[in-house]
Amino acid sequence: MSSPVRVRFAPSPTGYLHVGGARTALFNWLFARHHGGTFVLRIEDTDQQRNTAEALQVIYDGLRWLGLDWDEGPDAGGPHGPYRQSERQTIYERYFQQLRDAGHLYDDGGAWRFRFRREVVEVDDLICGRIAFDFANVEIMPDMTVRRPDGSWIFHFVNVVDDIEMRITHVIRGEDHLSNTPKHLQLFAALGAEPPRYGHIPLILNPDGSKMSKRDQGASITGYTENGYPPEAVRNYLCLLGWSPKDDRELMPIEDVVARFDLANVNRKGAHFDLAKCDWISAQTIQHMSSERYRELAQPWLAKAGLPTDAPSLDAVLALEKMKVTHLTEIADRVSFFFTEDFPYDPAAVEKTLRKPGALDRIRQLGEACAALEPWDAAVLEAKLKEVAAAVPCKPAEFIHPARIAVSGRAVGPSLYHMLEVLGKERVLARFQRTLGTFDAA
């Protein structure tokens, strides 16, 4: 790269952050970080009727949630601002006048049009390769409006002006903008400016091959935050939507992706969105994350459910279900019984297990056998339960299933022995007694 890399993400704040926009931001960020360059956030908010402060905040929140930071932008400042198009009117007026004075514009019923050169324009795209666009046919390629009769600007004009002013070296955007690129190249030439290099990434498609719209499942980044996906999992998945490290790896720390990101490894064909794959990456990410990070992500969901977020045993409790969690929204329900002695009993589990003849006797026997048990850990508890079962004799399952319901109220959950260890002897024996008291007389 002859000059320092400068890329930009230029969203329009009109409602939410689409997964396609988030991936575009991510690829630009990865490219900038790989090359030690600058990532610019530019807000295209010239449509005053559709743009809102709330929608802008959604963009900020979504990018930050994904772990994407920007070097220049509306809130970060920088030497090439303002970074909101609504604040750049005098800049656009200057460039408009430059084009007008040079004879590139003409008035068409109050709208101002840019006069295309009627020639073949070749786009040398970093991903799509060389593509020629023929401007000879005026009906197919009519002259482009740059300013509406009401004085407002058209996207193409302000986009090019901002790329010039902000010294953008590479434009990485969705393939749906590919047909705009020859028009932009003509504007750059008319303004006497060196154009950036372009790279158009494949569209994100639904499983049926249709283009993903804002109404489709998984389309909004906000949906991932609300449904309890770890941000690093969503970011990991988005990295793989159209890009590949070429070694079949699917779980990659972001530092590895930055080190390896290359536009040459961006796929040419559309990227099919697969929410099941995203779920798998989410589960794998949770399984492999540190207990500190897992606790950090779990705490807001525990608080929302009214559960303790700083209990001394919290890490141990969370670890019991860590291997089974796909979405953080599941955690509170999975561990709620650890934090109350007044947990409910699942009626189906009671009917299937505790109502069976001898089930309560098994709980009583196990409690008596464990009363003097030392040390109180999973291995010792497992050995004791199997010892008691062998003495009956019966299968260990005849003790395991009633004991699980007695201490959790549920038929399924984490490893019984580890669950008993984390609960501690006093609480386990008390829960055995509570269960006996509840169902003995029933």
Report how far residue 236's alpha carbon sits from residue 312's, in angstroms, rounded to the nearest whole number.
32
* Contact indicator for 248, 204 with CB cutoff of 8 Å: no
Report how far residue 196's alpha carbon sits from residue 163's, in angstroms, rounded to the nearest whole number.
8
Catalytic residues: 214
For the stretch 47-95, pLDDT in tens is 776 778 888 999 999 999 999 999 999 999 999 999 999 999 999 999 9
Tokens of 397: 């399952």
Q: What is the pLDDT of residue 85?
A: 95
| Strand (E) or helix (H) holding 131 | strand 129-134
Q: What is the pLDDT of residue 195?
A: 98
E-strand stretches of 188-344: 197-201, 204-205, 271-272
Which of the residue ranges 115-129, 210-224, 292-306 would you say has the lowest mean pLDDT?
210-224
For the stretch 260-317, pLDDT in tens is 999 999 998 888 999 999 999 999 999 999 999 999 999 999 999 999 999 999 999 9
Report how far residue 13's alpha carbon sits from residue 59's, in angstroms, rounded to the nearest whole number.
7
For the stretch 391-441, pLDDT in tens is 999 999 999 999 999 999 999 999 999 999 999 999 999 999 999 999 986
Q: What is the pLDDT of residue 381?
A: 98
In percent, the amount of the chain with pLDDT more than 70 equals 98
For the stretch 1-27, pLDDT in tens is 567 999 999 999 877 899 999 999 999
What's the distance, CA 439 to chain centroid? 47
The rounded mean pLDDT for the chain is 95
Q: What is the pLDDT of residue 441?
A: 63
Instruction: Taking residues 25-42, report their average pLDDT.
Output: 98
pLDDT over 90 (residue 246): no
Sequential DSSP letters for 367-410: HHHHTT-SS-SHHHHHHHHHHHHHHTT--THHHHHHHHHHHHS-
Closest CA to 318 of 425, 422, 409, 430: 422
* Contact indicator for 243, 265 with CB cutoff of 8 Å: yes
Helix (H, G, I), strand (E, B) or coil at 202: coil
Numbers of helices and strands, H then E, in the chain: 18, 11
pLDDT over 60 (residue 442): no
Q: What is the pLDDT of residue 208?
A: 84
Which of the residue ranges 51-55, 78-82, 180-184, 351-355 would you say has the lowest mean pLDDT?
51-55
Report how far residue 305's alpha carbon sits from residue 332's, in angstroms, rounded to the nearest whole number.
6
Tell me if the bond preceding 207 is cis, omega within 30° of 0: no
* Contact indicator for 54, 273 with CB cutoff of 8 Å: no
> How big, in percent rounded to 5, are the helix, strand and coil portions of the chain?
50, 15, 40
Confidence of residue 211 (pLDDT cuts 50, 70, 90): confident
Q: What is the pLDDT of residue 53?
A: 84
Tokens of 27: 């690829």
